[in-house]
Amino acid sequence: MRYIYKQISIFILLITIHLSSCTNPGNNSIDTPGIRDCERNRTGAIVITNTSKYPYDIYIDDVHKLRIQAKSKSDKLEIDEGNNRKIYVEQVTGYLFFPFKKTVHFNVVRCSDYQLSIP
């Protein structure tokens, strides 16, 4: 009887050690030291400066990202790496007949920082 308890105890101990040493190989790339987030996420960043006294709406690839207030600077906006990315800028207030509109196409290189000044 003691022999069976001893065998069961050793078996449970071995299973516990085996299960506690398992790792998920899919997560190794996430915790890899030395790789910047922009490398991992394949993104670049842009900072937009509004030199006008009127606010502007900012669209990146036809998605509204932010409204930048007059005489201000945006935080860094992450943009996916790729060719022919589009930024569209439209004046919100302060126009007489038609708002100021600007479209810029550019290529985003991974881990690069860009700046855009409006108007």
The larger pLDDT score, comparing residue 118 to residue 24, is at 118
What is the reported pTM?
A: 0.68
Backbone angles phi, psi at 109, to 5 degrees: -100, 140
Q: CA torsion sign, 93 to 94 to 96 to 102? A: negative
> Given this model, what pLDDT does residue 28 score?
47
Architecture of domain 37-118: Sandwich (2.60)
Q: What percent of the chain has pLDDT over 90?
A: 64
Higher pLDDT, 11 or 57: 57
102 vs 31: which has the higher pLDDT: 102
Residue 27 in this model has a pLDDT that exceeds 70: no
Residues β-bridged to residue 98? none
Domain range annotation of the chain: 37-118
* β-bridge partners, 1: none
Q: Average pLDDT, stretch 18-32?
A: 55
pLDDT digits (tens, 9 = 90+) for 33-62: 788 889 999 999 999 999 999 999 999 999
Cα separation, 114 vs 97, in Å, equals 31
